[in-house]
Structure 1
Amino acid sequence: MAIAGGVGVTLDAADTATLFGEDQGRYLVACSFDKAEALMVAAGQAGVTIQTVGKFTGDTVRIGATEAALDELRDIWTGAFAGHFG
């Protein structure tokens, strides 16, 4: 999401299984700050548990205490794919 949007992200927890372990009962949703309150209200009205795990901001990716530049991570990701598949 950060690479596609061209903006860094800060995720509050270092527990990647919790953050990225999407299944039929857990999804990662991104929305603007302005829409977040409405999303939380709608989820509450529907009886759906919702938890904020971070925010999009800046030009780095931070998960817990680990941080790297978004551009550097994009280069690694695109380079590894091209290197593997030619």
Structure 2
Amino acid sequence: MVQDVDWVVGAAMFVRRAVIEQIGGFDERFFMYSEELDLCYRAKQANWRVVYFPPARVLHHEAKSSEQVLAQRDIYFHSSKARYFKKYQ
């Protein structure tokens, strides 16, 4: 029923304590975007599974944290993507 994936959205993420203890938590250099991508990548590198459970349902009010200042949101988004790719190039 679960599907192995490369990453999951942080708004609906459950992480085992053992994963955090082994790889550490979110990289604080990522602000608002790509932090879950980075965490999932590190978990997979440490041989943990990242899975998606299709029947699960979560209501996420997307972009509520950043909707007030659209230009700033775009800066955070692109800065985080650049930081991620630089980290793993």
Establish whether TM, by shorter chain, passes 0.5. no
- More strand, by proportion: 1
Normalization by structure 1: what TM-score?
0.26
Normalization by structure 2: what TM-score?
0.25
| Higher RCO (CA-CA < 8 Å; seq separation 6+) | 1
